[in-house]
Amino acid sequence: MSQSESPKLPSLNQNSAQSVVVKRRRVFYIPGYDPFHPRRYRELYRAEAMKQAEISGYNIETKGKIGSSGPFGWTATATIEGAQVTADVSVLVWSDIVKSSMGHGIVATYWQMLITSWIYIYSGALRRLMWLRKGPIIAALYPIAILSVQLLGAITFASVVGSVLSTYVYPRAGWVTFIPIVIYILRWFHARDSKIYAYYLMHDFAHTAQNWGAYPPKMEERFEAFRAQIAQALTENYDEVLIVGHSSGAHIAVSIVADLLRANQGPKRGHVLGLLTLGHVVPMVSFLPKATRLRGDLAMLSTRADITWVDVTAPGDGCSFALCDPVAVSGVAPQKARWPLVFSAAFTQSLSPERWQELKRKYFRLHFQYLCAFDRPKDYDYFQITAGPKTLSARYRDRPASRSRLDVAASGYTDV
């Protein structure tokens, strides 16, 4: 797969967005495939903001919302670059849908493994995804390999035990004990999945592929609720409304913002709308044959002059499609595409050698580094983006796209 020789500079035709000094910001954070309570993200933000503030020399405090009937969230109050900013942060929760999709037994999970593998192989998506980055492909194959090894190990152990029992205890003991032993071993592995994530990742990829790339009806219903919350914020007294999508939340954010703009509920005079996607896995969906909705959303957002879309990944994050332009690699980039601005968080440069050595083998932790403090920060600082005085447009006005990004069409399906 070839790479473009020079960075694509998006046309930032948002003079008003660039001139705004943010005093109040509304942030909507969309997590990836995560079954946990959103307080996890509040505590992560609080702890990492304190670290980054100490390193970078600014002040930031977080306070949970008490008695609020709206979405779960918190308030961040910061003094950055001599300006005081208040950010109201909300988590757009879909963890209940995640939990429901993970509520399958062991046998059902193995069936999911077969179906999901078939979808990606038969559609040709797996072969084309392999043209991009190897990290996400390894992550996709990992649960298949681990679950297969677990099953093979359980069968082998049960066969050995059964053979011994048949020889020394009772001739048919092997037949009687085989299935109970296999089930016991598989349950033993399943109970320890919090350390190896095989079942978790398998459910994640199965959820992505279940409709061959089309969003499930439950997700579409949730998108409507999310869109209504964002549309309401765009009518209120905020200087910037910022949508942040991480991991699987990145393509969800793309579709929600696209819905917002189609419904003519986007930014009006005096309002600024920014979209920040982090550690995206867009091709895992957009390369599937029925992902016409997502591909259309990507194409539409890439040309809009009334938003700013910045996409941040890092080669050190093996769980994302690092520096892959999600619009271009999906084969739907219009000739006059201006978004997204794709650049790297450069983990190996923005983390000290000592910190990088500590984290580089912690693959899932690195996938969340975008939301965390950097001890040698460059121009990416999650807390200045979400609680600083500059709009997303102004902050990256002169930022070129990374030269090493991939922007060549790779998907076999490009209909929208």
Task: Give yes or no for a contact between 277 and 309, defined as CB atoms under 8 angstroms apart.
Answer: yes
Q: How many Å apart are CA 141 and CA 9, to the nearest integer?
A: 35
Distance CA 396, CA 381 (A): 12
- With H, G, I as helix, E, B as strand and everything else as coil, classify residue 218: helix
Nearest in space to 135 (alpha carbons), one of 348, 284, 357, 317 = 317
Chain segment 109-124, per-residue pLDDT in tens: 999 999 999 999 999 9
Q: What tokens does 163 get?
A: 């053979």
Could you tell me which of 19, 83, 29 has the C-alpha nearest to residue 272?
A: 19
Give the chain's domains with CATH numbers.
15-97+215-395 (3.40.50), 103-209 (no CATH)
Q: Of 88, 106, 94, which is closest to residue 147 (Cα–Cα)?
A: 106
What is the residue-averaged pLDDT of the chain?
90
In this structure, what token pair is assigned to residue 56? Answer: 């970078």
Q: What percent of the chain has pLDDT over 70?
A: 94
Residues with Cβ within 8 Å of residue 287, at least 6 apart in sequence: 123, 125, 128, 129, 213, 330, 410, 411, 412, 413
Residues in the chain: 416
pTM score: 0.91
Contacts with 114 (C-beta within 8 Å, 6 or more apart), sequence order: none
Contacts of 89 (CB under 8 A, 6+ apart): 27, 28, 29, 42, 45, 73, 74, 75, 76, 386
Is the pLDDT reported for residue 28 higher than 60? yes
In terms of Cα–Cα distance, which of 309, 304, 364 is closest to 336? 304
Confidence band for 17, pLDDT divided at 50, 70 and 90: low
Q: What is the pLDDT of residues 354-413, one digit of tens each?
A: 999 999 888 889 999 999 999 999 999 999 999 999 999 999 999 999 999 999 999 999
- Distance between CA 291 and CA 416 in Å, rounded? 8
Q: Please answer whether residues 177 and 217 qualify as being in contact, where contact means their C-beta atoms are separated by less than 8 angstroms.
A: no
Rounded CA separation 228/177 (Å): 56
